[in-house]
Amino acid sequence: MTERTIPTNPSPLWLAYTALCRIGAICTVELQKLRHDRTELITRAVQPTLWLLVFGQVFTQIRAIPTGSTPYLDFLAPGILAQSALFIAIFYGIQIIWERDSGMLAKLMVTPTPRVALVAAKAFAAGIRAVVQAIAVMIVAAILGVHLDTAPARLVGTVIALILGSAFFCCLSITIAGLVLSRDRLMGIGQAITMPLFFASNALYPVQLMPGWLQVINRINPLSYEVDALRGLLVNTPAALGFDFLVLVLASAAMISVAAALLPRLTVG
């Protein structure tokens, strides 16, 4: 058997290359899983469809939420897209506890994969799943008459925004998993934070309609930046795209680092 030479102190370049390989591998596996289990794609599309159908139609009818020249359904669709990505991403933290209990996480952690690469790979896998899910939701939205701008550059931007947003929330969930260590507690906290994150964002109503305190929360909620970007890209509302992406990149990078630092707690405990 041949000895392979391994750097004792991996250089940042080696780390980046390894991280890219691992992200590629784990994202490929994510797509393979989706291919084998297509029903999940359908079941997960039900809830966003209901939101668009019920909430969207009702609030369009009663004109309770003024959204200027944009029809309410158009305004709502990117918010629902972000919501479905959020739910998927939060679920990933719960899944990592399941992988801890099943021994899968230990197997992954014994491979020559830096922690941060492992977490980043999970984060992007969540992103990939969110993007595939988003395609389903966008088709539903188009059928319901939402005017989506599908210029290629805008779609690329949409994919990036969804991946970054999902990476952030996936790692937020892994971070909480690393803190509470038990599945039951994480499920509770996961449920307790996803709805507030959603309602305290601009997903359902314009910022201008919010009371002052909610506007403050909205400002520090990464979901709002994701929604703002998606809305600007897909339905052409005025958006601070550059700033949105800057916030999303920084927030997800920070969250990946925090989650990676807490990951060993899961297998030590």
Residues engaged in binding other proteins (CB under 8 A): 1, 4, 6-8, 10, 21-22, 24-26, 28-29, 32-33, 36-37, 99, 101-104, 106-114, 267-268
Distance (Å) of CA 269 to CA 176, 185, 265: 14, 15, 6
Any residues with CB less than 8 A from the CB of 130 and at least 6 apart, and which? 84, 85, 88, 89, 162, 163, 165, 166
Minimal distance in Å, beta carbon 6 to other proteins?
4
The residue among 101 and 145 lying less far from other proteins, judged by its C-beta, is 101
CB nearer to other proteins: pick between 104 and 250: 104
- Minimal distance, residue 94 CB to other proteins, in Å: 16
Residue 94: CB partners within 8 Å, gap ≥ 6? 173, 177, 183, 186, 187, 190
Contact 207, 218 (CB under 8 A): yes
At its nearest, how many Å lie between other proteins and the CB of residue 222?
Answer: 30
Closest CB 213 distance from other proteins, rounded Å: 43
**CB-nearer residue toward other proteins: 101 or 220:** 101
CA separation for the pair 192, 35 (Å, rounded): 31
Q: Which is nearer to other proteins, 16 or 37 (CB)?
A: 37
φ, ψ for residue 7 (rounded to 5)?
-65, 135
Write out the two tokens for 35: 């291919």
Please report how close the Cβ of residue 120 comes to other proteins at its closest, in angstroms. Answer: 14
Of the pair 109, 135, the CB lying nearest other proteins is at 109
